[in-house]
Structure 1
Amino acid sequence: MEPLGFSLEIICFLFGASLVAGFIDTLAGGGGLITLPALIMSGIPPLFALGTNKLQGTMGTATATLMMFRKRAVRWDDVKFHMLFAFIGAALGTAAVQLVDAELLSLVIPVVLVVIAVYFLLFPQRSVVSSEPRMGRKLYRSLVVPAVGWYDGMFGPGTGSFFALAGVALRGLRLVESTAVAKTLNFATNIASLLVFLLGGKVVWLAGLVMMGGQVCGAWLGSRFLFRINPLHLRYLVVAMCLGMLAKYLVSLVASS
């Protein structure tokens, strides 16, 4: 795909979508449910959309991970092997998705996004209560972590929530602690997926860089409104925007067939 072929309207749309996503992600999570449909709606082929979404999303998870380490919310010795297994799972998932037929992928991605959107709306993280560990550390690290990493490599949206919920439900971590660990694992999966997409030439740089700028602006705005907005209301907005963009995409897909 020739990145310079984007119109000014598409560039502004992608910047705006990533700005909203960065704002909402800072306050309630779920930004990927906006950025990925936005890329697909812009006419970017499914694999390029997935790769470009990783490019713009990696900056956010890298920043969050750096903050977790600087604040000593997590220790390197505690997460290094988890990050390695997450990295491997995501790399394998990203390699696998590139073997899927493009036409099939254009139908599968919207279905997955709808499922994740419904999950995101009905199962907020704050409803999860810490408990005793239900799975050993080694089994969790070698089975659950790479499985979530695989999902992130294949699709992506909701990965941070999945890591956080798994840490609480299966390892008995406190939600705050599990969320901090989830940031580091999500960074590992993002960077692994991005590297594989880069090797496959499946990244649209102009779109990714524009959306990086939007994410930074959105995250800055989000930090200014922290604790002033009900996160549940933002979840409704995320799902509404996601489903709206997907509906428009599917209508245009049917019209062009």
Structure 2
Amino acid sequence: MLELAPYLVALLVLAAFIAGFVDAIAGGGGLITVPALLLAGVDPVTALATNKLQGTFGSGTATLAYARAGLVDLSSQGPGIAVALVFGAAGAVLAHLVPVEGLRIAMPVILVAVALFFAFKPGLTDADRVQRLRPATFTALIVPPIALYDGLFGPGTGSFFMLGFVMLAGYGVTKATAHTKALNFASNLGSLAVFAFAGAILIKTGLLMALAQTAGAALGARMAMNRGARLIKPLLVVTSSAMAARLLWQVLG
């Protein structure tokens, strides 16, 4: 037996497919699936946990697609993936212990700044840029706080990783997207492990959503690789702005 009415599950599956497509290109898939779960009557903690389950499949699928295309070397990304996994789990633990109201107020401002950067910064193409941080330094300084934030709160994680890879690692836009999904997958997996331990997941509904998320992510990654920065940049601006609007709406009630 499904945990929810069949028609609700069908709508959630559709939402997961769309979210997987968008998330594989620019991040922000949770902007679609979390509100959908809440509208289906799921309590907030279970909605976040179920979203992590289905979202992990989507980010994993996108990561494999980018890796097969040679855009990300998973072996060389091993340290970053391990760090993101640990800090994603740590953030999920903190989510049960600390209030996140301050983040709800600060994040819209940061996300708008990210959107403006990608909208108006000249020269953001698929060509690599100047590397400001070596990979080891990037892993030590940039990955932990973003992965911790992902487990603790979540919205905008992909945008923050993208910004770091473009500005500090010197990656082109498509390459940055590929590496973002690898780290996002790891932080999702770490936080999912914590939520699974707490038992707050709709397993059957989440797995059905995961199948749809996987299909959407595969399609999204393929389109991102075919069209590159021409597709990724505008979609990243839209998703960052939409996440900021949603968070502001929550703060203002």
What TM-score comes out, normalization by structure 2 length?
0.76
Q: For each residue in 1:106-132, what CA deviation from the matched residue of structure 2 results, as whole angstroms up to 9, or x when unmatched?
A: x77866775576456434389474643
Evaluate the alpha carbon distance shift between residue 82 and residue 199 of structure 1 in structure 2; reply closer, same or farther with a 3 A threshold. same
Evaluate the alpha carbon distance shift between residue 45 and residue 113 of structure 1 in structure 2; reply closer, same or farther with a 3 A threshold. farther
Measure the CA separation in 2 of the matches of 1:144 and 1:88: 14
Q: For each residue in 1:54-108, what CA deviation from the matched residue of structure 2 results, as whole angstroms up to 9, or x when unmatched?
A: 10111111112222333332334421111111111111101110224xxx66x77
Amino acid at match of 2:47: A
1:48 equivalent in structure 2: 46
Structure 2: gaps spanning 5 or more residues: none
- Give yes or no for the alignment of 1:86 onto 2:84: yes
Amino acid at match of 2:21: F
Give % identity: 37
SS at match of 2:142: helix
1:177 equivalent in structure 2: 175
- Give yes or no for the alignment of 1:152 onto 2:150: yes
CA contact (8 A) 1:37 1:246 kept: no
Measure the CA separation in 2 of the matches of 1:234 and 1:184: 17
Give the counterpart of 1:141 among 118, 139, 142: 139
Deviation at 1:21, TM superposition (A): 1.7
Amino acid at match of 2:116: L
- Give yes or no for the alignment of 1:10 onto 2:4: no
SS at match of 1:78: coil
What TM-score comes out, normalization by structure 1 length?
0.75
Higher mean C-alpha deviation, range 41-50 or range 188-197: 41-50
Measure the CA separation in 1 of the matches of 2:26 and 2:202: 27
1:124 equivalent in structure 2: 118
1:24 equivalent in structure 2: 22
SS at match of 2:88: helix
Amino acid at match of 2:168: L
Amino acid at match of 2:56: T
Q: For each residue in 1:167-207, what CA deviation from the matched residue of structure 2 results, as whole angstroms up to 9, or x when unmatched?
A: 22122233333322222111111111111111111211133
Measure the CA separation in 2 of the matches of 1:187 and 1:241: 19
Deviation at 1:11, TM superposition (A): 2.0
Measure the CA separation in 1 of the matches of 2:65 and 2:206: 23
Measure the CA separation in 1 of the matches of 2:235 and 2:170: 28
Higher mean C-alpha deviation, range 59-68 or range 211-220: 211-220
Measure the CA separation in 1 of the matches of 2:235 and 2:194: 36
Measure the CA separation in 1 of the matches of 2:169 and 2:243: 33
Structure 1: gaps spanning 5 or more residues: none
Q: For each residue in 1:216-256, what CA deviation from the matched residue of structure 2 results, as whole angstroms up to 9, or x when unmatched?
A: 454466557975x9663796488569957995x899xx7xx
2:64 equivalent in structure 1: 66
Measure the CA separation in 2 of the matches of 1:59 and 1:210: 11
Higher mean C-alpha deviation, range 83-92 or range 155-164: 155-164
